[in-house]
């Protein structure tokens, strides 16, 4: 190709050394290597309105064989450019298979943490308020197969049965957290997990309460005292009876109001056939 007089011809591209492909000094395989704390707008399925826009925090990683010094961090972000905003089993499969291909990995992993919002009505006044629930979607891809897990973290109120039984007046009460992880067949609404969690405590927790609502919530909770053991068993029963859930882990942590520690209990189910 001819160049105009005085014009400098373009230089040929210089091939850069790929240091990541060098042999590792310590030859040990790495289970997870990648990027953490990315932010990305996502769309999740909403039972009432169809779709909900939110923002997720992402962790992405792959395995790395013992022979390689490092992975190519930029390729994780590049994979997101080919991924749409909707967060689902199919989009997770597409993302993780693309990551495994780009990074020449057997296994790839992604975790999305986000707030999912539901509009509540208070129990008596029916005042409206938005409650945000921390949720997660975790995908693991290995040898062409996807493992997909949905998670929620739901606040409830608990009243101590022992405190109520031995006290002349009142009983200690506190907020507790019901944390559920679930695998499932077909499709599972986040609302299903949230409702199971909220039904396991002494009372639900609300964003907005008027005085008549506060009276109702307090009296309802004290009429339904529950140890942390009661809460985890009730939640596990609801999860085990759900027709689409094939595995679950539920942990309840009560942030004790009269102790300097929390109380906790966990139940994990065996895997059921999908």
Res 10: pLDDT = 65
Residue 159 lies in a domain: yes
CA–CA dist 138, 124 (Å, integer): 37
Considering Cα of 240, then 245, then 247, then 249, what sign does the dihedral take? negative
Residue 105 lies in a domain: yes
Residue 156 lies in a domain: yes
pLDDT confidence band for 169 (50 / 70 / 90): confident
Residue 145 lies in a domain: yes
Residue 76 lies in a domain: yes
- 87-90: long-range contacts at Cβ-Cβ below 8 A with a sequence spacing of 24 or more? 87/42, 87/43, 87/44, 87/56, 87/112, 87/114, 87/137, 88/45, 89/146, 89/148
Res 11: pLDDT = 67
pLDDT digits (tens, 9 = 90+) for 127-162: 999 999 999 999 999 988 999 999 999 999 999 999
Residue 274 lies in a domain: no
Query: What CATH number did the domain enclosing 180 receive?
Result: 3.10.270.10
pLDDT at 20 over 60: no
Range of the domain at 177: 29-268
Predicted structure pTM score: 0.88
pLDDT digits (tens, 9 = 90+) for 193-232: 999 999 999 999 999 999 999 999 999 999 999 999 999 9
Residue 14 lies in a domain: no
pLDDT confidence band for 253 (50 / 70 / 90): very high
Residue 11 lies in a domain: no
Count how many domains the chain has: 1
């Amino acid at each position: 190709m001819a160049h105009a007089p005085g014009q400098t011809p373009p230089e040929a591209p210089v091939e850069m050394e790929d240091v990541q492909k060098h042999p590792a000094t310590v030859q040990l395989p790495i289970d997870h290597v990648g990027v953490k704390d990315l932010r990305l707008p996502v769309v999740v399925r909403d039972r009432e309105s169809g779709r909900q826009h939110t923002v997720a925090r992402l962790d992405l990683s792959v395995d790395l064989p013992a022979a390689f010094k490092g992975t190519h961090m930029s390729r994780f972000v590049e994979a997101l450019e080919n991924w749409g905003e909707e967060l689902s089993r199919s989009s997770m499969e597409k993302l993780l298979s693309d990551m495994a291909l780009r990074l020449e990995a057997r296994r790839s992993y992604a975790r999305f943490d986000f707030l999912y919002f539901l509009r509540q009505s208070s129990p008596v006044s029916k005042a409206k308020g938005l409650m945000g629930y921390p949720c997660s979607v975790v995908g693991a891809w290995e040898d062409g197969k996807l493992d997909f897990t949905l998670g929620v973290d739901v606040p409830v109120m608990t009243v101590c049965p022992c405190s109520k039984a031995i006290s002349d007046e009142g009983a200690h009460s506190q907020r507790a957290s019901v944390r559920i992880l679930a695998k499932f067949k077909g499709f599972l609404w986040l609302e299903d997990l949230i409702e199971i969690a909220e039904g396991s405590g002494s009372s639900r927790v609300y964003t907005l309460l008027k005085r008549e609502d506060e009276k109702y919530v307090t009296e309802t909770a004290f009429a339904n005292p529950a140890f942390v053991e009661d809460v985890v068993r009730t939640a596990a029963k609801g999860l085990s009876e759900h027709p689409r859930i094939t595995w679950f882990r539920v942990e309840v942590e009560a942030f004790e109001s009269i102790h300097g520690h929390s109380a906790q209990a966990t139940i994990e189910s065996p895997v059921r056939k999908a």
